[in-house]
Every structure is written in C-alpha cells, then in structure tokens.
Amino acid sequence: MPLEKDDTVYLWDMLDAAKAITEFVSGKAHRDYEKDRMLRGAVERHVEIIGEAAKRVSEGFRDVHSEIPWRGIVGMRNVLAHDYGEIKDDKMWILATESIPALVTVLEPLVPSSVSEE
C-alpha cells in the first residue's frame, strides 16, 4: 500500500521521537533514569509524540503494518497524557531501552529517506 502524504509525516514524527529517546537513554543506567527528572520528562514527552502521531496514521496503513503495536503505542500516550499518576518508571525504562529501539528498526524502512533527511 502506498503511503498517504499525511502518513509519511506522522511516521517521520514517530521515527524522529523514537530516535531521540534512544539518544536520551544511551549510556544511561536505570538508576540514572530514576534520579533524573529531566530525562524522565523528555522520554515521557517523546513517547506522547509517538502515540499522538501513531493515532493519526491512516487505518489502511495501520492494517497493512500490523507488526507495529499501534494500539499499545496510542494506549501508552493516553496513560501519559491523562493518567500521569500511574506512570511506572520501571515500565518506562523498559519501553525506552527495549521497545523504542525495536520500533526504530521497524519504522526506518517505512519512512522515505527524503523525508527523514529534511
């Protein structure tokens, strides 16, 4: 299925935010994450960006790319945006260090290089 114009933009947003998260946590340990309020805030904000963009990707594209956990991504955004008292640092750390790098790997081939170079 060819990408719709808007899908390309949203996928780029997702990829850009995911790459930023991997940069934020690179060289950090879980204890660094727990102690660094700014780091936690940056990771959480970028997870929100990923979720907001994911929910705007067309249903057709999401159906074709079921390897991406769309519902989980949007669900995490909703928790961060609405239930901030429920955020668990341990889960966010695993998300940032395991799930997000895996998402980058899946998204990179889907985003045209002309978009990611802008």
Active-site amino acid positions: 77, 82
What distance in Å separates the CA atoms of residue 56 and residue 91, rounded to the nearest whole number? Answer: 24
CA angle 81, 59, 49 (to 5 degrees): 25
The secondary structure of residue 84, as a DSSP letter, is G
Closest Cα partner for 52 from 87, 16, 88, 28?
Answer: 16
Residue 27's region, left for phi above 0, alpha for psi from -120 to 50, else beta, is left
Q: What are phi and psi of 89, to 5 degrees?
A: -60, -40
